[in-house]
Amino acid sequence: MYNEKVMDHFQNPRNVGEIQDADGVGEIGNARCGDIMKIFIKVKEGRIEDIKFFTFGCGAAIASSSALTEMVKGKSLEEALSVTNEDVARELGGLPSVKMHCSNLAADALHKAIEDYKSRCRN
């Protein structure tokens, strides 16, 4: 059902956990199947210095969050914001079509975390 790359991220997810003094936090709940994802970012000089996540969802959701955190770690916020769910799915070597919404979760949670960071900066 899933390719090797997805299974690898599912089995050995990168960057699982919480950043206690995060600069931005984004939580997304999936209205459709009830999954939740939360991303924590630490930002330094406009770049994502550290990123961690929690995911309560299927194999594809766990793999997507893991792949996404790897993709954007060290990237500028602008670069990170340009990452779409298709990019995440491509990075994973493809996801079953019924599982595309799981990669949405990851991208959306990241966008929210960046927004959160930006609004904290404004205040």
Partner 1 sequence: MAKRKVYLDHGATTPLRKEVLDEMMPYLTNSFGNPSSIHSFGREARVAVEKARQQVADAIGASPNEIIFTSGGTEADNMAIQGVARALSSRGKHIITSAIEHHAVLDACQSLEKEGFSLTYLPVDKYGLVQLKDLEKAIRPETILVTIMFANNEIGTVQDVAGIGKICRSRGVYFNTDAVQAIGQLDVNVQEQNIDLLSMSAHKFYGPKGIGVLYKRQGVKLKPIIFGGGQERKFRPGTEYVAGIVGMGKAIELAVAEMETKTAKMRELRDYFVAGLLEIGGVTLNGHPQQRLPNNVNVSIHNAEGEALLLNLDMEGVAASSGSACTSGSLEPSHVLRAIGLKHEVAHGSLRLTLGKDTEREDIDYTLKVLKPIVARLRKITGTLVRE
CA distance 29 to 37: 6
User: Is residue 63 within 8 Å of 9, Cβ to Cβ?
Assistant: yes
Q: Does 25 bind partner 1 (CB under 8 A)?
A: no
Q: Does 117 bind partner 1 (CB under 8 A)?
A: no
Among residues 41, 48, 61, 83, which is the contact residue for ligand FES, using CB under 6 A? 61
Site string for partner 1, 36-55 (x = CB under 8 A): xxx---------------xx
58: annotated active-site residue: no
Q: Among the candidate windows 41-49, 80-88, 94-102, 112-120, which touches partner 1 by CB under 8 A?
A: 94-102
| Residue 86: HSE in the Cβ half-sphere, 13 Å Cα cutoff | 1
CA distance 89 to 2: 12
Look up residue 16 and give its DSSP letter.
B
121: annotated active-site residue: no
Nearer to partner 1, 30 or 76 (CB): 30
Q: Among the candidate windows 16-24, 67-75, 76-84, 112-120, which touches partner 1 by CB under 8 A?
A: 16-24
34: left (phi over 0), alpha (psi -120 to 50) or beta: left
